[in-house]
Structure 1
């Protein structure tokens, strides 16, 4: 065997400039990767004399690495030519060429290779009948080529594959797919593909898409992105049908305006309503600020008798001006209260009924920050209109380790509350809240003492003259919170565990002051779960500060297995009132017979194998009744395998209405490429189903399809902006179809997780309780 180093042959490897790697952006799991035939891999292994992964990083620059040439026979005339025959191999770093015959003509600076030709580097592998390379122009041509992108699904054939002097790529009589060779569900054929490496986009002439070898689409000319850069073009359409909207077809168009701007324009046709046009515009303002504008418009809604125009506009901006300044702005408005209930918006869900409008600028320093904010909330379907914050100025100062182990914190705000209704009360509130905290922490426990003084001033304008014009409120607060961390080794059903015992106690004193002369501007009752028992306030906002003289007792116990994974947890807690609070939202007289809060309990256990049980209950020990409760039983043997039973109960949630609902949810693979997701929720009080969902998803390595059915209870609001619909649908049913071809502009595989989030009750939050 003849072997020698020929540095003059470095140019034969100019194929490394081929930009094929970036033509398609499809990636996949290992089991979906399409590899060259075994005989090609075997020959490559012999060529490299190693089993190195073609994607493995090279320890040195390929362009500077020495070239090694080997062959069974060689004949060379110095300065004229060199011929190699029999198992010819060229190696340079991660680049490899294998052929039966090769000739290097040094006079014309040309390389010819043929016979079982293989070219490979860490980006791709190519087989061809012959290779011709011109060193003077850095051009190369391969005939009857087949190519594979290493680590990707993309592969295809080309009658001729050319590399130009500018490293552009031209494929004639070519095709590509992401499907395995034995099952090519789709194939894109083209007369010619031209890839401009400098512009990072390509041109395709005579494109023909075949599905299961049946031509379904032809485009004389089209362009495609050839890198991760964005490219304008149509995205995959969606198809659905529902009882209220009829047949729905949406065809999004993505417009890559510039590196800082893009837009998605989606014509959405509904046979029962008309053309629904949705536009989303995104922008970047430098490296640290970004925003989004959404405009949605449905003219002459045919579903409604008067055919009103329905619309949405949304603006969102966030980021930082520099290291110290932050900005935030968001504004959303809709034409009517039932906009989200009737139309599928890109901004919000039908279960959302609050539109936030906020603008905020903040300045941060290591120990202090200041911010200015304006805020308005539009509540859909409610007659009561919240107050506007116009504006709010806040200043916060923190000084840890002030002295003698104490920490100091100071919070202050000045807020002006306005209202769109001139008949409503308005106010300006000034609040100061200094806090001194003395923490003591060890691995076995902690003890925190806290003293706080809350000073608030109000200037109020009440047209009804029911509130005080000026209010000065001074309330002291003392809080002591202690916790211990104990643990021991134990056994549970004959298995070893580490059990912890975490008792905690809090004493809270808050002074009393009559606050009936203060209006409600931003205050509501907070929900008390186990952790809420240890808060220092009952209400959000500052319009009501509840007096307190109480002790909270709680304990948590956890069990950890030998792998230090939590196998179970129990938490129990209750507030004991030394003196009942006299402050309420409505200024009504509080029930002084109640000496304790509801007993809050939470349970989480891994029962056996992959069975899990969790529950949360608030039990009123005075009246011996359940204040609210929820429980779920899960079977989760795998990421995409789930079976869940759940139940929730909330008495008197509104106008003496009780919630008593049971549900079942499942996600299960019927086989490796076919999954089912479904849920069913039933209202046990009204004796009717609340929601039914069933979806099937098939996903192969190169395409995916989802077919789903949904029947659900609609939210219908009273709406002064729209004429009444009689009767308005109580339930809506729909069938939905999604289809993705991977590697051809699709958004990637359809996920099981988003199917679990379909509908009114999201998985892992199906029993979330909030007034």
Structure 2
């Protein structure tokens, strides 16, 4: 038990009142303005709390010296150790010999021969740092000098050498990283890789965040056998309801690589601009409208798919297509009305020019929400949409659709049977503009099409509760029949020609999107099983369409949908269509998954057959497996295979070993990625990679791809 402490408070006359030192000790001597304290010495200075075996304070110089087994705490996160410390109260300077600091939030420690601190900056001479156990660290970084800011928590190391155990593996004249997750300007961990085809890969990202409303990430990269480029991402939050980002990239191929691989372009470039505002009208126009308004901008452009392939070293993370779509959506919505304006621009990367591509600039929509009359027995709403289809070369059109459904509904037999009648009033007007590319016999006269159709629905829903289950059954039928219709102009002239499927893709039929209403009967049945805690166990639905039209009459495809939660861990889903005419299944999707005991397993298969001449069938299998053996070991497997084409789409096999201060992982990846050659023909390259994950925590993370080293395995079959 401590003896009774003697308290003395030292004041420096020319300092502010807050700059005071409190010293507690069991024994104290004073001679010639020098105060010596012995025993259980405790020093409190601002947010610092220090203990030592003895202390000496010189009133003349304002220096406080501490000796023997010094322990210091600064705030709640930083712990300091040493044998000697000197505090100059007047100059706000602090010196430790030797120096040891532990930052509790990040679990990083720093040890040095000497430290000098003033204000928030600590300078450390000749030391070592790590995030591992200090007794036998798996990794450590030695340095000749270091700087640490206790406010920003940024650590800078000079002449840094990285050791795995006692083996030197890396040297850099400067290395800096943050000990917290606060966004700040700095150099991000680099990415390395090697490919037999592209050579050594190196990417060094720079993160700039000088203000809290924006940041900029620059990612220059070098592939020494292929070329070099840079990608950048600018992110911003310009208000509490809006944010956006701009991604820009450029890559220049080396001449030899460009010629050997028969690429379409020697340079690859593009950009993406994304912006969202969830209260755009009130913010931009200083309005005070009730309801919701918003704008979503997603503008994309690139000269070919290689722009996407080169954006990362992991091609499995990219999703490429031959068509790029840019969108701008604007809307205003309240309790009764909806107004929308949509802009779509399409770019086909397989074409040298998109002057013949039809663009939708803009599409305008007005929707009046459901209204009721006569105690909710009569329901009606209105929807109007105008599409402006335009292009530089070829015929363009403005097409307006009007849809007015009117429903009368009631219940019979004490609400056991529900009956509804619906009348659909629909009209479409098309006005043409522009000229055809070549003079033909096609005639594009403005046209109007209008019709009404009817449906009668009868349904019933029954529910019954058991001891541990509740069973709900919903079944009924819907009869649909066309009514009167009127056509003139384009719709009358092209009715017989464009209504045939074989002509759908011809120029004259590009704007003919009228589908006839067939007289048909739809029978449906669905059932649900719920557990006593309300969780859905089974969802099952059957739907059968019967057509009464002479031309295409007969029984339509039978649809069966099942979602079955077999156990708390096992789920099964099936969606199947059966074609009576072909006596075969036209579509069948199955998925079974298991999640429990550390396993996450999913297996799915998609089969589709349109039965059209020349059309390919689809038969595609995907599978994935993740297993967390314990808190240290995790394994994963993924396999995607095209059964119809008979080739592997992608495959991945790997594991990750996690420790407190480091992660190590290994992944083997195969992936089929698209390319575009000089003839504008889309092809593919089959990539095989090995990814090594080495994450030295906290300066790296296994969730960040920058902790991976990638090696591309040579493949004689690439470029197929």
Q: TM-score range by the shorter chain?
A: 0.7 to 0.9
The verdict on how the C-alpha distance between 1:664 and 1:476 changes in structure 2, with shifts beyond 3 A counting, is closer
Q: 1:446 to 1:345 in 2, by over 3 A?
A: farther
Quick one: distance in 2 between partners of 1:375 and 1:361?
Answer: 12
2:169 paired with 1:208: no
Whether 1:282 and 2:234 are equivalent positions in the alignment is yes
**Which residue number corresponds to residue 137 of structure 1?**
91
Within-5 A mapping of 1:724-763: 731-744=686-699, 746-749=700-703
Q: Would the alpha carbon gap of residues 570 and 458 (structure 1) be closer, same or farther in structure 2, given more than 3 Å must change?
A: same
When residues 337 and 680 of structure 1 are mapped into structure 2, their CA distance, relative to the original with a 3 A threshold, is: closer
Partner of 1:455: 427
Task: Say whether residues 1:229 and 2:183 are aligned partners.
Answer: yes
Q: Is the 8 A contact 1:628 1:650 kept in 2?
A: yes
Q: Which residue is 1:127 aligned to?
A: 81
| Residue in structure 2 matched with residue 632 of structure 1 by the alignment | 591
Rounded Cα–Cα distance in structure 2 between residues aligned with 1:396 and 1:315: 31
> What is the TM-score with the length of structure 2 in the denominator?
0.75
Provide the C-alpha distance between the structure 1 equivalents of 2:9 and 2:407, rounded to a whole number of angstroms.
77
Shift of 1:269: 0.8
Cα distance change of structure 1 residues 436 and 205 upon mapping to structure 2, 3 Å threshold: same
2:386 — aligned with what?
Answer: 414
Closer/same/farther in 2, CA of residues 622 and 9 from structure 1, 3 Å limit = farther
The answer on whether the counterparts of 1:467 and 1:517 sit within 8 Å (CA) in structure 2 is no
- The 1:573/1:306 distance shift into structure 2, 3 A limit, reads closer
Aligned pair 1:389/2:334, yes or no? no
Shift of 1:186: 2.2
Paired with 2:165 and 2:426, the residues of 1 have a C-alpha distance of: 73
Any conservation in 2 of the 1:328–1:361 contact (CA below 8 Å)? Answer: yes
Q: 1:6 to 1:396 in 2, by over 3 A?
A: farther
Partner Cα separation in structure 2 for residue 433 and residue 7 of structure 1? 88
Query: Are residues 1:262 and 2:216 paired?
Result: yes
How far the C-alpha of 1:354 sits from its partner, in A, is 3.0
Q: Is the 8 A contact 1:118 1:125 kept in 2?
A: yes
Residues 394 and 632 of structure 1: is their aligned pair in 2 closer, same or farther, counting only changes over 3 Å? Answer: closer
Q: Kindly tell me: are residues 653 and 680 of structure 1, through their superposed partners in 2, closer, same or farther at Cα, counting changes over 3 Å?
A: farther
Deviation per residue, 1:215-274 (Å, 9 max, x gap): 3333334555576233242532131437xx444513133252743351323324163xx1
Superposed CA RMSD in Å reads 4.7
Superposed CA offset, 1:105-143 (max 9, x none): 666554433332222342122222133323333332222
Which residues in structure 2 correspond to 1:261-660 (within 5 Å)? 261-269=215-223, 271=225, 274-284=226-236, 286-287=238-239, 288-299=242-253, 300=255, 301-305=258-262, 308-320=265-277, 321=280, 323=282, 326-336=294-304, 349-363=318-332, 367-380=336-349, 387-398=358-369, 404-405=375-376, 409-422=381-394, 425-434=395-404, 453-461=425-433, 463=436, 465=442, 468-475=445-452, 484=461, 486-490=463-467, 497-503=468-474, 505=476, 507=478, 509=480, 511=482, 513=485, 517=491, 544=515, 546=517, 550-560=521-531, 565-566=535-536, 568-577=537-546, 579-580=547-548, 591-594=552-555, 596-607=556-567, 610-620=569-579, 624-638=583-597, 641-652=599-610, 655-660=614-619
Residues in 1 aligned to 2:638 and 2:520: alpha-carbon distance in whole angstroms: 46
* C-alpha spacing 1:414/1:206, structure 2 compared with 1 (3 Å): same
Deviations 1:476-525, CA, capped at 9 Å, x for gaps: 566869674735234xxxxxx433324254636474547892999xx99x
Flag the structure with higher strand content. 2
2:52 paired with 1:99? yes
Distance 1:177 1:401, change over 3 A: farther
* 1:217 alignment partner in structure 2: 170
Q: CA deviation at 1:203?
A: 4.5
Say if 1:195 and 1:226, in contact at 8 Å, map to a contact too: no
- Would you say the 8 A contact 1:236–1:739 is kept in 2? no
Q: What whole-Å deviation, never above 9, does each CA across 1:729-748 have from its counterpart, x for those lacking one? A: 6744333444433333x355
**Contact 2:365/2:383 (CA < 8 Å) preserved in 1?**
yes
Show CA shifts across 1:669-717 (max 9, x none).
5675443322334444555544433233344333334433333455577
Preserved contact between residue 390 and residue 416 of structure 1 (Cα < 8 Å): yes
- Match of 2:698, SS state, is coil
C-alpha displacement of 1:275? 0.8
User: May I ask how many residue pairs the two structures share in their alignment?
Assistant: 650
CA contact (8 A) 2:606 2:620 kept: yes
Taking structure 1 as the reference length, the TM-score comes to: 0.71
Closer, same or farther: CA 112–415 of 1 in aligned 2, 3 Å: same
C-alpha contact 1:235 1:251 (8 A) present in aligned 2: no
8 Å contact kept, 1:110–1:133: yes
What is the SS of the residue equivalent to 2:466? strand
Measure, in 2, the Cα distance between the counterparts of 1:198 and 1:181. Answer: 24
Structure 2 residue corresponding to 1:175, chosen from 128, 136, 145: 128
How far apart in 1 are the matches of 2:81 and 2:272? 52
Shift of 1:292: 1.0
SS of structure 2 residue aligned to 1:238: strand
Displacement of 1:147 in angstroms is 1.9
Aligned to 2:137: 184
Residues 607-663 of structure 1 show CA distances to partners (whole Å, capped at 9, x for unaligned) of 4x7444333322335654322212234343245x33444433222477342233445
Q: Tell me by how many angstroms 1:474 deviates.
A: 4.1
Unaligned segments of structure 1, at least 5 residues: 15-62, 491-496, 525-539, 583-588, 755-771
The question of whether the paired residues in 2 share the 8 Å contact of 1:502 and 1:557 is answered with yes
Once the two structures are overlaid, the 10-residue window that deviates more, 172-181 or 542-551, is 542-551
Residues 498/341 of structure 1: CA separation in 2 closer, same or farther (3 Å cut): same
Q: Relative to 1, partners in 2 of residues 1:664 and 1:430: Cα closer, same or farther, differing over 3 Å?
A: closer
The structural deviation recorded for 1:212 is 2.7
Quote the Cα distance in structure 2 between the aligned partners of 1:101 and 1:479.
96
What is the deviation of 1:388?
0.8
Question: SS in structure 2 opposite 1:137?
Answer: coil
Aligned match of 1:114: 67
Once residues 440 and 207 of structure 1 are traced to their aligned partners in structure 2, the CA distance between those partners, rounded to angstroms, is 80
Aligned to 1:59: none
Structure 1 Cα separation of the partners of residues 341 and 670 of structure 2: 45
Distance 2:99 2:637 in 1: 47
